[in-house]
Structure 1
């Protein structure tokens, strides 16, 4: 099992806990041979009394159907001796689990909670905690201690001594593995006292700090699972695992484009499930790696270890034992041809809730209507105000407790091309409730966006003023006060991925010396009926912009099902090409929250299938022939040792968005360098499609095929992904350098007056000349009018 942080306590952004290590497996060739046979034949555990398997009907309900001839009954798989299974030891820091560098325990009863989970397919055999901590020298040793509690069981009391006070300490604590379950709470409780009488529980001498580098160590052994589709998406994805999902995909030696399309559909689904964890999908051609994996097979195209299967009668989904290790599972997507694979993959990602058993037949797969533009489930609504309750995962996310609680965090994703120029801001109708503070002038609520302050308001005491409103709240007591505020988020603070923060702070109140102080007796919450309104904004953007792609998969994700996207693969795609394709589609599924059920995959020769679509071009020269054919459109060319790099006349300056004078980027190519070298280099390139105006191409290329995955490595780094821009991003090692050079184009439309005014604001000197000309014309026209009136005045009036 992997150590995981409970999703309910997961902070904003990704927090991968590291990759899984490798270990050997002492299984004899005989057992492997038997396991291979069992992989091809259903085990007794899944056979029904009548020898039937599950069949998926038109309406998605499973029905009884004759057994598939490709999987005749045979002897069950021999039991695997648990002592032969590999034991793996994993270490993860508490700081990674809770996204913090230090746990600060304060007051007389300071507490920190670390949530972690364990995969369902692993068993803990040994557990330990290495705690690094220190505490205040002012503590009374007989009345102070640090208590370690695991799932409500006290596992250790760490005493306080005068000799060790103020020093960095290390304690190794054995944990009983029987106490560890699928979801776990590790509590660090500080009990501290500095005086026998008249003690202030908020005194600054009451402190203990636990370092985020403290480690939780688990030794785990795999559990042999029953083959059952009802467990999906487990064991291939386990929501209790906060490590990056790494799920191998297995193909025949030369997979077809139709097979890759089906694989892309499933990888986008797994990427959607992985969410903030991220996902990688290594490709294996004609081989079975150890561990859980997904495999694709047709009657004419299948991995060698499935060669003895009888011909498939139609699309199907199965779970079999992996012959690579004899105990992990393979998710088999099967069919007569590529169209059957697509039907099976689509049914898997849209109808997996009704599958069970070891195998289901897909009788008919009926796709839903194509998605509309910008309707991705993970993106904000653009047709109406969106309630905060639609943006959160659980209701308690909007409630906090204590005088200075952690901020309430709400994630926002919006289309990168949403045009908010010159708007007054994004309106927020905020409703919130709180316990009335004793001193209102020192208690407040602050709203921030992406860790930047937007507005702060003072909290009122009971009966103060006449603007607050009382709102009913069944879960909280009647003493709660409710307020409603209209706020505006400055549009320049927004990107494609955003987070709103609402921070409450209440003043502590002490009656006097030797009087009790109520430390944590206040509550606050944001009402789920609060709204944010993105409706009414047009869509318009200057392209290419690789920042849109690296952060949101745009413009491909404009349609959540990728209906207007084509992936262009090399004629003979290798494992690296396929891994890049699957992982990028997984990122797009994570962005939209919907699988890419309508994506298409084609080769460089199928130009007729590429017209009218946005293209994701993957591969290296000369295998990806479109790179050479479209060379004049590319901002850079990387072909073996030959490299052509374009430099713009004026690069992007961050002051441009603020000032607009003498900083406007000029993407026209000023220089070109032709270089020869043998070092590793990969690149992301963006340009307008030569086949369809207004359509975008994003190319992933490298000097050598083995360097392609370097692009995936930098995209997994959020800081690097956020810094990308322009038409080219060159990846060297763990760094990426972006540049905007070459032709630009625009997508979307603007209102008539904005079309006239917006280009002028991008050219301040031209705007000043137009304004001056308008002023001169106005003065001249006014002068002509006065002269005309004077000449027409009757003589008697002079």
Structure 2
């Protein structure tokens, strides 16, 4: 008898096969063997950074993984790493493993495994694998053969984050159709870092660098948390020995790589998808044109794709990206109106949970780093929620926290009322004061650039009772809970003002360049003859900013002439050797000229003993640096310099820019990158960017000088008393003159 589950699985397999067939074309050489390789993804790589504790009342855990559209898996194995509770009954306790809701097998917990760390392997059926896959592990635990309490503390199994899924993958011969773009150059199903080589004829011109920068920021916005890096090659193609490797190629009619010598000349901005000359499983995306302007137009069209691309060759006629406004980056929360939580979710049902002990609901809230929240009463958060009400009022609660800091706890009433609204204020004071809203005490909290708002439903329930000669067992109800998508968070009315330089803002949000999502107020200064490492650093940096904003850098400008920077009202991003004007500038906090390095001013940190001083040295080890300072041309603009000398130095710099862990160490005005890690220093005096009302500006800066503030307050009182005394004397004199 064919079950409904079997029919659904068969239908899914047919649909996946049809999709793969549409994306792949028949092999041109029946004797050629498609490249294949082994891959392994740990549960930590798949979004489970910590061990998971399976309980009697929360007994299931699942991980999701995807297959790229240009690959197929011919074999799959699940490697489990777990530790069962020593209180379990052997064999009666076991694990059930499902792949895409199909049972793959059971793993009994034997006497030898009780309380011990266990490593088991289980083969998965590769025929069930599709674009999106779920592996679900269910724990069936027993500690007694009669009268069990599902919430008993002895019912647990620790599922290690070292557990992994191993696949044997095989490449598909994909068709050359731009309708699938950005495939195969970027596939959202791939959770690995995006590594996309970029090929130029030789040292790229400024126009070629800008075109490549637009595309790198576009791919960076798609890669997001995966990060992206762009190895640069001059007149060479990447190796495809291990597995297929797509690449981007930039060429004009006068400047083209040698392997395109016989390729037809372009008659305008053109995008073309072709096979790699030595590997038909690898694709090359040709961005060609008559000149550099055509390359910029073609790159802009690709990054602005509105679903019109099709075929293997497209000639562009008109491209006009939309104008942007400050602070309107798609990845940042709106600050001009209240925002519904529906605008912040990443996938459907993100705001819904189920079970007696459901997992927390987590939302990412990214703020502009210069949002001025000093001494503000708080950020309004209106929370609407629904839940399965308990039979009686008990200790069931909804806990709300931000960045793992407790905010409030809302009791879940035992009634028929399923809809509730709570108005909270996420306090942004850096003091110990509290805020009271709707009879809720909210502790002080300072929100940063990246924030996680967590809603955690905690239900109290009497599941069972086991006493001598008396046994009661209750089955837990299917409890449902949800945060309503119409709940709002309101950041409107806030000013933009912050102290600079702040390299933490640069590494974590791309600020100040990301103030305009399209980087239309950014000027990049490069060397006259950049090498592969320097161009690759430029592309990686623009991809990093694109990942933070979620938008391509359509408006970025690139120059190799320092004097032109004086004429531009823009924030400056400098790569390569420092101009002589900056080298001779006494305010420059750090100088790197391999093998010499010079920290012009000591780090003014929290330890006063280490403040001040200078340090210069020569060494044979690699060193890179990121330096921030005020622009020498505009007090409201900033300069960020990415300093390195050798390819090894640039390798350190690029690794730090694409490593989320190392990005967290960026701070202050100078960040030094060595093989041992990243260190940051606060150097020199801060400057401020943004605007505040005069009275708030005065109050903010005086708050750092309490003695001066007290003196001004006393002087104001004395001055007011004198004015009042003179006014009263004038009034008294006038009354006497009238009486006379």
TM-score by structure 2 length?
0.88
Bigger mean CA deviation after superposition, 741-750 or 251-260: 741-750
CA drift at 1:734:
4.8
Q: Secondary structure at the match of 1:97?
A: coil
Residue of 261, 281, 291 corresponding to 1:307: 261
CA drift at 1:627:
7.0
- Distance verdict in 2 for CA 1:483–1:729, change over 3 Å: same
Residue of 148, 159, 171 corresponding to 2:108: 159
Q: Secondary structure at the match of 2:73?
A: strand
CA drift at 1:373:
0.9
Aligned pair 1:203/2:156, yes or no? Answer: no
Partner of 1:456: 409
CA distance in 2, matches of 1:592, 1:491: 27
CA distance in 2, matches of 1:109, 1:786: 77
Aligned pair 1:187/2:187, yes or no? Answer: no
- Distance verdict in 2 for CA 1:548–1:522, change over 3 Å: same
1:109 and 1:192 in contact (8 A); partners too: no
CA distance in 2, matches of 1:46, 1:132: 37
- Distance verdict in 2 for CA 1:528–1:295, change over 3 Å: same
CA drift at 1:780:
5.8
CA drift at 1:549:
0.7
Q: Deviations over 1:254-292 (max 9, x none)?
A: 211101101111111111111111111111111000311
Q: Secondary structure at the match of 1:287?
A: coil
Residue of 233, 238, 244 corresponding to 2:187: 238
CA distance in 2, matches of 1:135, 1:371: 55
Partner of 2:340: 387
CA drift at 1:339:
0.5
Partner of 1:397: 350
Calculate the aligned-residue CA RMSD, in Å: 2.8
CA distance in 2, matches of 1:491, 1:297: 54
Q: Deviations over 1:671-724 (max 9, x none)?
A: 222322222110001112223332211110124243123223223343442342
Partner of 1:699: 641
2:373 and 2:428 in contact (8 A); partners too: no
Q: Deviations over 1:435-487 (max 9, x none)?
A: 11245341111111111112221111106xxxxxx5xxxxxxxxx33333333
Residue of 562, 573, 576 corresponding to 2:519: 562
Q: Deviations over 1:11-61 (max 9, x none)?
A: xxxxxxxxxxxxxxxxxxxxxxxxxxxxxxxxxx999xxxxxxxxxxxxxx
Partner of 1:172: 121
- Distance verdict in 2 for CA 1:615–1:201, change over 3 Å: same
CA drift at 1:116:
0.7
- Distance verdict in 2 for CA 1:536–1:261, change over 3 Å: same
Partner of 1:539: 496
- Distance verdict in 2 for CA 1:489–1:756, change over 3 Å: closer
Question: Superposition pairs for residues 104-503 of structure 1, below 5 Å?
Answer: 104-107=53-56, 110-290=59-239, 291-368=245-322, 370-462=323-415, 470=417, 480-490=418-428, 492=430, 493-503=446-456
CA distance in 1, matches of 2:735, 2:314: 96
Bigger mean CA deviation after superposition, 335-344 or 643-652: 643-652
2:542 and 2:553 in contact (8 A); partners too: yes
CA drift at 1:92:
2.0
CA drift at 1:325:
3.3
Q: Secondary structure at the match of 2:695?
A: helix
CA distance in 2, matches of 1:101, 1:504: 21
CA drift at 1:127:
2.0
CA distance in 2, matches of 1:314, 1:784: 81
1:566 and 1:616 in contact (8 A); partners too: yes
Runs of 4+ with >6 A deviation: 782-795
CA distance in 2, matches of 1:706, 1:165: 50
- Distance verdict in 2 for CA 1:168–1:512, change over 3 Å: closer
2:335 and 2:493 in contact (8 A); partners too: yes
Q: Deviations over 1:387-425 (max 9, x none)?
A: 111111233011111222221111111111111111101
Q: Which runs of 5+ in 1 are unaligned?
A: 1-44, 48-75, 464-469, 471-479, 654-662
2:177 and 2:273 in contact (8 A); partners too: yes
Partner of 1:638: 592
Q: Secondary structure at the match of 1:709?
A: helix
Residue of 621, 627, 646 corresponding to 1:685: 627
CA drift at 1:520:
5.1
1:611 and 1:692 in contact (8 A); partners too: no
1:289 and 1:324 in contact (8 A); partners too: no
Partner of 2:438: none
CA distance in 2, matches of 1:485, 1:523: 22
Q: Secondary structure at the match of 1:201?
A: coil
CA distance in 1, matches of 2:45, 2:238: 29
2:602 and 2:615 in contact (8 A); partners too: no
CA distance in 1, matches of 2:303, 2:30: 31
Task: Give the length in aligned residue pairs.
Answer: 692
2:365 and 2:450 in contact (8 A); partners too: yes
CA distance in 2, matches of 1:674, 1:77: 62
2:251 and 2:288 in contact (8 A); partners too: yes
CA distance in 2, matches of 1:173, 1:243: 24
CA distance in 2, matches of 1:583, 1:384: 33
CA drift at 1:343:
0.8
Question: Superposition pairs for residues 618-657 of structure 1, below 5 Å?
Answer: 618-619=575-576, 621=577, 624-625=578-579, 628-629=582-583, 631-648=585-602, 650-651=604-605
CA drift at 1:78:
4.2
2:392 and 2:415 in contact (8 A); partners too: no
Q: Secondary structure at the match of 1:690?
A: coil
CA distance in 1, matches of 2:57, 2:590: 63
CA distance in 1, matches of 2:535, 2:219: 16
2:24 and 2:172 in contact (8 A); partners too: no
Partner of 2:509: 552
- Distance verdict in 2 for CA 1:462–1:755, change over 3 Å: same
TM-score by structure 1 length?
0.82
- Distance verdict in 2 for CA 1:250–1:162, change over 3 Å: same
1:544 and 1:745 in contact (8 A); partners too: yes
- Distance verdict in 2 for CA 1:630–1:414, change over 3 Å: farther
CA drift at 1:181:
1.8
1:109 and 1:191 in contact (8 A); partners too: no
Partner of 1:675: 617
Bigger mean CA deviation after superposition, 610-619 or 515-524: 515-524
Q: Secondary structure at the match of 1:457?
A: strand
Partner of 1:42: none
CA drift at 1:378:
1.4
Aligned pair 1:79/2:29, yes or no? Answer: yes
1:374 and 1:560 in contact (8 A); partners too: yes
2:149 and 2:465 in contact (8 A); partners too: no
- Distance verdict in 2 for CA 1:235–1:347, change over 3 Å: same
CA distance in 1, matches of 2:224, 2:714: 53
- Distance verdict in 2 for CA 1:181–1:395, change over 3 Å: closer
Bigger mean CA deviation after superposition, 240-249 or 117-126: 117-126
Q: Deviations over 1:630-682 (max 9, x none)?
A: 643421110122222033474258xxxxxxxxx9x99xx93222322222110
2:523 and 2:565 in contact (8 A); partners too: no
Q: Deviations over 1:309-356 (max 9, x none)?
A: 122101111111112534211111111111101111111111251111
CA drift at 1:179:
2.5
- Distance verdict in 2 for CA 1:342–1:391, change over 3 Å: same
1:232 and 1:352 in contact (8 A); partners too: no
Question: Superposition pairs for residues 750-761 of structure 1, below 5 Å?
Answer: 750-761=692-703
CA distance in 2, matches of 1:352, 1:481: 40
CA drift at 1:793:
9.5
2:540 and 2:657 in contact (8 A); partners too: no
CA distance in 2, matches of 1:252, 1:287: 8
CA drift at 1:489:
3.6
